[in-house]
A and B are shown apart, each in its own frame.
Chain A
Amino acid sequence: MNRWRFALRLFRRDWRHPELRLLGLALVVAVAAVTAVGFFTDRVDRAMALQASQVLAADLQLSSHDPIPPRYTDEARRLGLQTTRTLRFPSVLVNGDRTLLVEVKAVGPDYPLRGELRVRKSPGSAGQPVQHGPEPGRLWAQARVFDSLGLRPGATLELGRSRFTVSRVLSRDSTEAANLFRIGPGVLMALADLPATGLVTPASRVDHRLLVAGDRAAVNRYLEWARRDLPAGLSLVHTSNARPQLRRALDRGGRFLALASLMAVLVAAAAIALSGHRFLERQADATAILRCLGASRGLILQTLVLRLLLLGLMAALAGSLLGWLAQFLLAGMLADWFGAPLPAAGPAPLLLGLGTALISLLGFALPPMLRLGAVPPLRVLRRDLAPPPLSSWLTGLTALLAIALLMLWQAGEPKLAGLVIGGTLVTLGVLLAGGRLLVWLLTPLRRHGHGIWRYGLAGLARNPAMTSLQLAGFGLGILALLLLAVVRLDLLDAWDRSIPERAPNQFLINIQPDQVQALQSFLAAEGLPDAGFHPMLRARLTGIGDRRVRIDDYSDDRARRLVARDFNLSYGMELAPDNTIVAGRWWQPGQEDEPLFSVEQELARTLGIRRGDRLRFRIAGRELEGRVASLRRVQWDSFRPNFFVIGTPGLLQGYPTTYITSFHLPPGREPVLSRLVGRFPAVTVIDVSALMTQVREIITRGAQAVEYVFAFTLVAGLLVLAAGIQASREHRRQESAILRTLGLRRRALLQAVGIEFFTLGLLAGLLASLCAGATGWLIARELFGLDYPFNPGLWLVGLGASALGIGLAGLAATWPLVVHPPLQTLREG
Chain B
Amino acid sequence: METHSTPAAPLLRAENLGKRVQGPEGPLVILQGVTMELRHGEAVAILGASGSGKSTLLGLLAGLDSPSTGETWLFGTALGGLDEDGRAALRAGRVGFVFQSFQLLTSMTALENVMLPLELAGVADPRKAAEATLAEIGLGQRLHHYPAQLSGGEQQRVAIARAFAPRPALLFADEPTGSLDQATGRRISELLFRMRESSGATLLLVTHDPGLAAACDRRLQLDQGRLVPPS
Contact = CB atoms under 8 A, between A and B. Distances in A.
Q: Do A and B come from one complex?
A: yes
Interface of A: 1, 6, 9, 13-14, 16-17, 285-286, 289-299, 376-378, 380-383, 828-829
16 contacts: A1-B121, A6-B120, A14-B107, A17-B106, A286-B105, A289-B103, A290-B120, A292-B64, A292-B91, A294-B92, A294-B94, A295-B88, A377-B64, A377-B84, A380-B99, A829-B148
B9 interface: no
A215 to B, nearest CB: 52
A381 B174 contact: yes
B107 A13 contact: yes
Contacts of B89: 294, 296
Contacts of B91: 292-294
Contacts of B120: 1, 6, 290, 293-295, 299
Interface string B117-130: 10111100000000
B108 interface: yes
Contacts of A292: 62, 64, 91, 97
Contacts of B106: 17
Given A290-B120, A295-B88, A296-B88, 16 more contacts: A1-B122, A6-B120, A286-B107, A291-B88, A292-B91, A294-B88, A298-B85, A377-B88, A378-B64, A380-B64, A380-B99, A380-B103, A381-B55, A381-B99, A381-B174, A383-B101
A297 B85 contact: yes
A378 B64 CA distance: 5
A378 B117 CA distance: 17
Contacts of B122: 1
A376 B97 CA distance: 16
Instruction: Please classify the interface of chain B as helix (H, G, I), strand (E, B), loop, or mixed, using the class held by over half of its residues.
Output: mixed
Contacts of A297: 84-85, 88
B65 interface: yes
Contact of A16 (B62, B92, B107): B107
Interface string B75-104: 000000000110011111111010101010
B132 interface: no
Contacts of A829: 148
B92 A293 contact: yes
Nearest to A297: B85
A137 B101 CA distance: 97
Contact of A293 (B58, B108, B112, B116): B116
Given A286-B105, A380-B97, A9 B119 contact: yes
A289 B105 contact: yes
A472 B104 CA distance: 34
Contacts of A376: 64-65, 84
Contacts of A291: 84, 88
A392 B166 CA distance: 39
Contact of B55 (A1, A289, A382): A382
Interface string B55-83: 10011001011000000000000000000
Nearest to B119: A6
A152 to B, nearest CB: 82
Contacts of B97: 292-293, 380
Contacts of A289: 103, 105, 116
Nearest to B116: A293
Interface in B1-32: none
Nearest to B97: A292
Contact of B59 (A286, A293, A299, A381): A381
Contacts of B92: 293-295
A13 B84 contact: no
Contacts of B65: 376, 378
Q: Which of A291, A292, A829 has the most CB of B within 10 A?
A: A292
Interface string B175-216: 000000000000000000000000000000000000000000
B41 to A, nearest CB: 22
Interface residues of B, number: 33
A294 B103 contact: no
A583 to B, nearest CB: 64
B112 A381 contact: no
User: Closest 10 interchain pairs by CB?
Assistant: A294-B92, A17-B107, A1-B122, A294-B91, A378-B64, A377-B64, A296-B85, A378-B65, A293-B117, A13-B108
A310 B198 CA distance: 41
A381 B95 contact: no
Contacts of B117: 293-294
A167 B120 CA distance: 87
Contact of B121 (A14, A16, A294): A294
A712 to B, nearest CB: 33
A466 B105 CA distance: 24
A828 B106 CA distance: 11
Which residue, A9, A293, A828, has most C-beta atoms of chain B within 10 A?
A: A293
Nearest to A12: B112
B33 to A, nearest CB: 21
A735 B173 CA distance: 31
A150 B45 CA distance: 117
Contacts of A377: 64, 84, 88
B3 to A, nearest CB: 17
Contacts of A1: 119-122
B93 A13 contact: no
A298 B120 CA distance: 13
A828 B89 CA distance: 34
A262 B94 CA distance: 53
A376 B101 CA distance: 17
A448 B150 CA distance: 44
Contacts of B59: 378, 381-382
A294 B95 contact: yes
Contacts of B116: 289-290, 293
A376 B83 CA distance: 12
A294 B89 CA distance: 5
A381 B64 contact: yes
A383 B101 CA distance: 10
A101 B84 CA distance: 93
Contacts of A17: 106-107
Contacts of A286: 105, 107
Contacts of A298: 85
Contacts of B95: 294
A289 B106 CA distance: 12
A408 to B, nearest CB: 37
Contacts of B105: 13, 285-286, 289
B174 to A, nearest CB: 6
Most buried by B among A9, A294, A380: A294
A489 B36 CA distance: 77
A294 B169 CA distance: 14
A377 B95 CA distance: 13
Contacts of A290: 116, 120
A69 to B, nearest CB: 73
A296 B82 CA distance: 12
Q: Which of B55, B105, B107 has the most CB of A within 10 A?
A: B107
A287 to B, nearest CB: 10
A16 B95 CA distance: 28
Given A13-B107, A13-B112, A17-B107, A294 B93 contact: yes
Nearest to B93: A294
Nearest to A288: B103
Nearest to B104: A289
A382 B100 CA distance: 11
B24 to A, nearest CB: 14
Contacts of A295: 88, 92, 120
B184 to A, nearest CB: 15
A294 B94 CA distance: 9
A381 B58 contact: yes
A380 B65 CA distance: 11
A372 to B, nearest CB: 13
A381 B53 CA distance: 12
Contacts of A380: 64, 97, 99, 103
Contacts of B85: 296-298
Nearest to B112: A13
Nearest to A9: B119
